[in-house]
Amino acid sequence: MQILSASEKTVSIGSGTANAAISFENMTASAVAVQVETKNRRFTGLGFSSYGRYGHGGLLRERFIPRLRAAQDKELLDDSGTFDPEKAWAVLMQDEKEGGHGERSGAVGVLEMALWDAFAKSQDMPVWGLLAETFGHIDDSGPAVGECPIYASGGHYLLSSDDARGVADEAKRSFDNGYAYFKLKVGGAPESTDLARIHAAIEVAGSPRLVAVDANGMLGGAESSGRLDALDRCGLGWIEEPVAPLDFNGLAGCAGSLDTSIATGENIFSEADAANLLLFGGLRAGKDKLQMDPLLSYGVIEYMRMIQFAESRGWSRRDFHPHAGHQMALHMVAGLGLGSHETASVHDGPFSGVDEGTRIEDGIAIVNDAPGLGIEYKPSLYRYFDGLLAG
């Protein structure tokens, strides 16, 4: 597989929503296209940033795309002449110091996504099938390869209002559309408002276990312990990011006091940081949920290192529930046998729902088996590649 071209376009994905920590009004993302040639056939691989960390145009244009373009063919291929994702990862990371992961992990992740899309198309396989073939699917009684639990994430604070009726409508639409759980934001409004929103969602769901909350790290202060206790008494499916992402001591305190499952990890961007989270965050294997996001953390290769470390500490792949709702996470969850796929419940956004070839039935996604990641089958996402593909 020879790299013919690679390009990036930074696009606006701003929306009139917010969580407890930030507004999404000025959010951006990187759309990436990589054209490759193999056996005299050309394929275009597509990548698109994860949500919440802005685009990575500067890093991609200054460092990572030039490194990929400068690579010799043999630096990207194995002994049989097939594309080797691990060697490609090493090309991207040459001359990068360890630690201090910052924004570059998202730049590498989105470029690696485009390479996986191109590689899978060249093999005439969906990415989930290629991942299962490369790394194996978990061997258990859970969903089969190509299928995965899927849940809806929403309940944002609208910049115009934050009423419980809107949350109930969103939750109802999510369950009507087949999603297994509904997650809403907390910690960005007075406690009474948050509890009203939660109980509105529980009433629609029929059980608190089908509802989860996400505090985006904003309930870590001593003044918030009473709020966490109130959430714990709700009997929810899980409480997400109760404290700031790198406050492992605070997280360990939560794990010691909350009966409810804790979910965290979406702002952990490397194997080393994931290891520290598991070693020092007090999390409980088999009970808590790990949400590291492959696109924000150097892509599939680094994510597999995280999984292998976690497995060595008694965790299962089913404990991994990647953040954000992008096509890479969907294919990784279905191909590797991870825990569940998150998708945004808002209408018509790049992280909303699934592509047109993927079905959702009774809380399970049956993922499109078209070659690649299915981005071309998701109009709300594919439209961001306009101009990039022609250029």
Contact between residue 182 and residue 346 where contact means Cβ atoms under 8 Å apart: no
CB of 51 to Mg ion, least distance (A): 9
> Of residues 9, 101, 156, 323, which has the active-site annotation?
323
Antiparallel, parallel or unpaired: β 147-153 and 364-366: antiparallel
Quote the CA–CA distance of 216 and 153 in Å, as a whole number. 13
Nearest residue to Mg ion by CB is 214
Footprint of Mg ion on 197-256 (CB under 5 A): 214, 240
323 counts as catalytic: yes
Counting beta carbons within 10 angstroms of the beta carbon of residue 347, is it exposed (0 to 12), middle (13 to 18) or buried (19 or more)? exposed
> Of residues 121, 185, 341, 378, which has the active-site annotation?
185
Please state the three-class secondary structure of 40-70 as a single string. Answer: CEEEEEEEECCCCCCCCHHHHHHHHHHHHHH
**Amino acid at the residue 323:** H
- Per DSSP (E only), the strands in the chain are 2-12, 17-18, 28-38, 41-48, 147-153, 157-158, 182-185, 211-214, 239-240, 262-264, 289-290, 341-344, 359-361, 364-366
Q: Site mask, Mg ion, residues 157-196, x = CB under 5 A?
A: ----------------------------------------
Q: How many residues bind Mg ion (CB under 5 A)?
A: 2
Quote the CA–CA distance of 323 and 336 in Å, as a whole number. 16
CB of 240 to Mg ion, least distance (A): 5
CB of 93 to Mg ion, least distance (A): 27
Q: Site mask, Mg ion, residues 277-316, x = CB under 5 A?
A: ----------------------------------------
Footprint of Mg ion on 30-49 (CB under 5 A): none
Task: Choose between 183 and 318: whose C-beta lies nearer to Mg ion.
Answer: 183
Q: What is the DSSP string of 147-162?
A: EEEEEEE---EESS--
185 counts as catalytic: yes
Close Cβ partners of 366 (under 8 Å, ≥ 6 residues apart): 146, 147, 358, 359, 360
| Residue 120 token pair | 């899978």
CB of 265 to Mg ion, least distance (A): 9
Task: Choose between 240 and 376: whose C-beta lies nearer to Mg ion.
Answer: 240
Quote the CA–CA distance of 334 and 171 in Å, as a whole number. 24
CB of 128 to Mg ion, least distance (A): 23
CB of 264 to Mg ion, least distance (A): 8
CB of 50 to Mg ion, least distance (A): 11
**Cα 194 to the center of its chain, rounded Å:** 25
Task: Choose between 6 and 338: whose C-beta lies nearer to Mg ion.
Answer: 338
What distances in angstroms separate CA 25 from CA 9, 15, 49, 52, 286, one per listed residue? 19, 5, 17, 11, 37
Residues engaged in binding Mg ion (CB under 5 A): 214, 240
**Residues marked as catalytic:** 185, 323
